[in-house]
Amino acid sequence: MPKKFISRFFMSLGIVFFIGIMISQDFRLQLAELVAPFLDPVAASLPIYMVIIILAAITGFYTSLIQKLTVDTRRLKAIQKRVTKYQKELMEATKQDNKYKLKQMEEEKQEIQQLQSEMMSMQFKPMFYSMVVTLPIFMWLLTKTKENASVVVPFSGMIHIADPVLIVPWWLFWYFLCSIAINQVIRKALRM
């Protein structure tokens, strides 16, 4: 009972955070202020690009850990394999206009839809748990981009951290770049 309550609480909190940042500027600022006492001292002592690397490592670690603890990877892989096989067979039967096979596969359709629903649930649950920590960090970073923080980057020289790279702000681009690299290392270490 307590485990289920805690699970639902954090999932609900993640959903509230997600909806809150979508509709309210004040809510975004309050989330940023929630983590500011922890992150402001780090930002005061390190360059912003190092702070982003540290935050990418932290978020990468706990999201991977949450995923490892909440997702039955064997079950997920089995569902993905079954759904992929069904979709491939359905495409072949449709391409060949095999009415007998299509009718046979229609009987499996409900089971496949239930498996897809289970798979979506398995993938969304860790995402909402992760939002409880990730969204306040992102909102804090967003407030930091409004400050006069500049970095030196290859090929461009000195830029403001909110300047766009491709189509996203530099800080977000840098965060994702670091996050992808660090996540690979963490996933290897956690054997995911």
Interatomic CA distance for residues 79 and 117, integer angstroms:
10
183 touches 64 (CB < 8 A): yes
Distances (CA, A) of 53 to 78, 103, 154, 188: 35, 53, 17, 19
Interatomic CA distance for residues 154 and 183, integer angstroms:
23
Distances (CA, A) of 48 to 53, 76, 155, 175, 177: 9, 38, 19, 11, 15
Structure tokens at 68: 């490892």
At 143 the pLDDT is: 85
pLDDT digits (tens, 9 = 90+) for 131-151: 888 899 989 988 887 776 777
Interatomic CA distance for residues 139 and 99, integer angstroms:
54
At 155 the pLDDT is: 67
Give phi and psi for 158, each to the nearest 5.
-80, 125
Interatomic CA distance for residues 83 and 121, integer angstroms:
15
At 154 the pLDDT is: 65
Interatomic CA distance for residues 189 and 191, integer angstroms:
5
Is residue 25 scored above 90 in pLDDT? no
- What does pTM read for this prediction? 0.75
Interatomic CA distance for residues 192 and 29, integer angstroms:
35
Is residue 64 scored above 90 in pLDDT? no
Is residue 100 scored above 90 in pLDDT? no
| Nearest alpha carbon to residue 153 among 126, 173, 124, 136 | 173
Is residue 85 scored above 80 in pLDDT? yes
pLDDT digits (tens, 9 = 90+) for 42-57: 988 888 888 889 999 9
* Mean local confidence (pLDDT), 90-105: 83
Q: Which amino acid is at 43?
A: A
Is residue 179 scored above 80 in pLDDT? yes
87 touches 189 (CB < 8 A): no
Q: Where are the domains of the chain?
A: 2-71+128-189
Residues in contact with 107: Cβ distance below 8 Å, sequence separation at least 6, in sequence order? none
